[in-house]
A and B are shown apart, each in its own frame.
Chain A
C-alpha cells in the first residue's frame, strides 16, 4: 500500500515519542519520490504514541477468531485478505470496492483485564496480534502442552516454537542447570564457575550474603548431582552425553546396579531368548538388529542400572515384535560413546543377547577342553556369516596360573560379582569369570570413570586377564 507523504503528517510522526530528529518537510517531499517508502516507524518499547487511538476490546472480541466481517453478508474471516477475496464475489460497484483511502490512524490496544499492567492506556501495546497473544499468555488457560518436557503454553505459536527446540540442543552446566541457548549457557558458565571458585577459595570474603548463598548453591549443586547419580536413575537426558552420567565409582551403587541388571536379566532373558529364537530362526538376524536392541538401554537413563526402565521397555514381550530399531540414526557414534556402550553392554543383560546374536546359545554345556566353539552353534544356519563366537575358553585353562589380582574386585562387588556374567552361558565352568565382568566394566567404565571424575578418588582400574583357551584349535572355520 503506497504511503502518501504530506509534509505535515511526516512531522507528526516524527514527534516526541520517538526521539528521532525530524527532517525538514521540504526535503522530504522531494526525497519521498526518490527513496523507497520509509520503514514503518516504531515507537520505543514501552512508550506508545501519545496521540494514537486507544482501543479497548472486550475479552470476547479479543479472542474472537473471525474479526474481519463482510458488511454485505456478515460472514466472518480470520484474515483481511480473505475478506477482500470474498468481497470480490459480491460484484460491488467500483467505488465501494476500494478500501477507504485515508490513512489509518495509529491504534494501540489495552488489555481488558483490570489487574493487568497493560490495562493502563499509557502501557498499551501497539499491535492487535500482540495484545491477543499477551492476553492468552497471561490471562488465559494453558491448553498446549509439550510432550517432552511438560511445559505448558496458552498460545499455539509459543508451543510450536518450543517444541522445535525442546531437547534438541542442550547445554548443561556443571552445576546442573540446563540451557537451550548457547549464549546464555556460556554466560552462565562464566559466572557459575566463578562463584564456585570464589567460594572455594576465600571463606572469609566480605561478600554479601546473597552472593555467598548463590555460590554455595553452585557448589552444593554438584554434590547433589553426585548424589542423584548414585541413586538410580538420573533424570533422563536423551543427549548423547552419556559420558556425564557415568555412575560414580562408589561400590554401593554399582553393586546395586548389578543386582538391578541381574533382576532385569532374569526377567528379560525369557523374553529375549524367545525374541531371538524367533528372529534368528525366521530371518537373518543382522547385527544391526542386535545392536538396535542394545541401543535401547542407551536411550534410557544411561546409568548401569537398568531396572529403573523396567524390563518391559527393554524387551517388549510380544514375540513377533521387531522392535529393533536400526542403530541410532544419528550417524556415527564417537569412539568414546562406543566404548561406553561396550561397557554398558557388559553390564546389561543385553550383553547376552549380543553374544547370542553371534550364534552363541544361552544354554551351553561346559566346553570340553579343546572343544572350542563347535558345540555352540545353534540356529544360525540363517546366519550366513557364521560369526559364531564360541564361548571363550575351556576349563582347562581356568587355573592356568592367572594372577589373582581381580580378587579385589570380586570382593568389591559383594555377593553378586558375576550375576551378570552368567549370561555368558558359561555354565559351571564359568567360574573363572567371576569378577571379570566387573573388572571389565571397571576397566572400560572405570578407567573412564577415573577420567571423567577427574580428581575424585576413583574405583580401582582393575586389570583383567585373558584366558582364552590355550589349546583350542582353529576349527571354527568349519562353520563357514
Chain B
C-alpha cells in the first residue's frame, strides 16, 4: 500500500526537517478565495478550515514567506469576522496580528501603521468589562481578598500595595470583609501603582467613601509609575504595618526585555546565522519543553527582589495560565490559539453574539493581547504570560515562600460560580494554588506568597 511504502521512506529521512503537518497547503492550490463553495460552508467546517489556514499562515509568517502568507491572509480575511461565530472571531484577531507581524519586515510601514501606544483608557475600560462579564477576575479578587484577610488576622495596621491598581472593586470587597472582622477593622492603607492618574483619583474617591461608610480608618495613596521603573521607596511602607502586595495580571509585563541583547549575552561566542535563528535553535525547542529552563529576566529578578525586601506578609499573584513567552513565533501562536480559543468560547457561552460589550472585550482586550503576543518583540512585547509552574519557580528563586490558599477560599469561589449562572467555569486547586478554568482548560492562576521561605 502506498502508505507503508512511504512510511519507510519517511522514517528514514528523519534527518530532514519536518514540515507542517498533513494540512500544509500550497497557497496557490487554495484556489480563489471568492469561490461560492466557501460561502456555503457550515460553521464548524469553516472553523476547521480556518484553523488550517491559520496554521499555514502562521508558518509562512514565521518563515518570512511573504507571498504565501499573503495568500493565506487573503483567504482567512474573507472567512473571518469579528462578529461571526467563535472561530471566525478568533481568526479575525489572529490574522490581524499575523499581518502586523508580517509588516515588521518593513519597519517603516510597521511604525507608520502602528500606533505606538495602545489606547490605554480603552484597554482599561475593556478590562473592567471583562471583570463584569466573566467571573475569572472576580474570582481572583475574592480569593485574593480571602487570603489577605486570613493573613491579616490580628493585625492592627494593614497596608495593601496594588500593582496596576485600576479597579477598586477588589478593595471595596476587602473593606467589607475587614469591617466584619470579629476583632474589628484595622487601620487600612491602600497604595495603588499605575500609570494613569485619573484612574487613581476615581479609585481614591470610591474607596474613601466606602471606608467612611464602614467606619474604617483609611488612607489612599497613588503612585503614578510604570512597574518596571517603580521605586519601592515611593510606596512608603512603614515599620510596624503588615504589608500585602497584590498583582492581578501585572507581573508578566516585567518579563519584557530586549531578547536579542539577552541572547547575545547568553551566547556571545556564536556567530553563525542570524540571531533569530540562533534563538530559535538554542532556545526554541527548549523554552517550553522543560519548565526548568526559565528565560532569565534581570528586570523581573530585580523587581521581585525589591518587593521581597519589603518583607510582605503576603503577596497574591494572579496570572494568565498559558505560555505566551516562547521565543519562537510558532510556539506562541499555538499556545495563544488554544488559550484564546478557550476564552472566546467562554464569552460565546456567556454572552450573545450581538453583545457590544463582548465585542469590546474581544477586540480591545483580547485582540490587543493577541497582537502584542504575535506581532511585537523585545521590550514592546509586554504580554509575556507564563504558566504557574514557572511563576512558582521565579518567585521561589526570589526568596518567596508559598502560602497555600485555604479551603474556605475554594468554597467561596465555588459558591460564587454557582451563583454566576453559567455552566462550564471551574475552580481547581493545585499545589495550594487555584486555577480558574473554562471547562477543562485552566486559564488563570492565583497563588499566595510571603517573604519567608518555607524550607
Contact = CB atoms under 8 A, between A and B. Distances in A.
Interface of A: 174, 186, 189-190, 193-194, 197, 201, 241, 243-244, 262, 265-266, 269-270, 286-288, 291, 327-328, 332-336, 338-339, 341-342, 345-346, 351-352, 354-355, 362-363, 372-373, 376, 383-393, 398-399, 402-411, 415-428, 430-441, 443-444, 447-448, 450-452, 454-455, 457, 460-470, 472-477, 479-480
Interface string B55-90: 110111011010010010000000000000111001
A468 to B, nearest CB: 5
A175 B328 CA distance: 37
B37 A393 contact: no
Nearest to B440: A243
A435 B14 contact: yes
A362 B344 CA distance: 36
Interface of B: 1-7, 9-32, 35-38, 40-45, 47-48, 51-52, 55-56, 58-60, 62-63, 65, 68, 71, 85-87, 90, 277, 280-281, 284-285, 288-291, 321-323, 326, 328, 330-331, 334-335, 337-339, 341-342, 344-345, 348-349, 387-389, 404, 407, 410-411, 414, 418, 428-432, 435, 439-442
Contacts of B24: 392-393, 436, 466-468
Given A269-B1, A463-B328, A469-B26, A479 B11 contact: no
Nearest to A469: B26
Contacts of B29: 372-373, 376, 388-391, 472, 476
B20 A465 contact: yes
A291 B47 CA distance: 11
Contacts of B56: 466, 468
B60 to A, nearest CB: 5
11 contacts: A265-B3, A334-B341, A336-B342, A391-B26, A408-B285, A418-B11, A422-B2, A440-B23, A444-B338, A447-B335, A477-B31
Main secondary structure of the interface of B (DSSP, over half): helix
By Cβ-Cβ distance, the 8 closest A-B pairs, closest first, are A385-B37, A466-B59, A373-B29, A390-B29, A440-B21, A431-B13, A460-B289, A402-B17
Given A332-B44, A440-B20, A431 B10 contact: yes
Given A434-B16, A455-B388, A421 B22 contact: yes
A418 B20 CA distance: 12
B25 A392 contact: yes
A160 B208 CA distance: 60
Contacts of A269: 1-3
A454 B388 contact: yes
B22 A335 contact: no
B435 A476 contact: no
Contacts of B439: 241, 243, 336
Contacts of B342: 335-336
Given A332-B44, A385-B35, A466-B20, A454 B63 contact: no
A460 B288 contact: yes
Contacts of B341: 334-336, 338-339
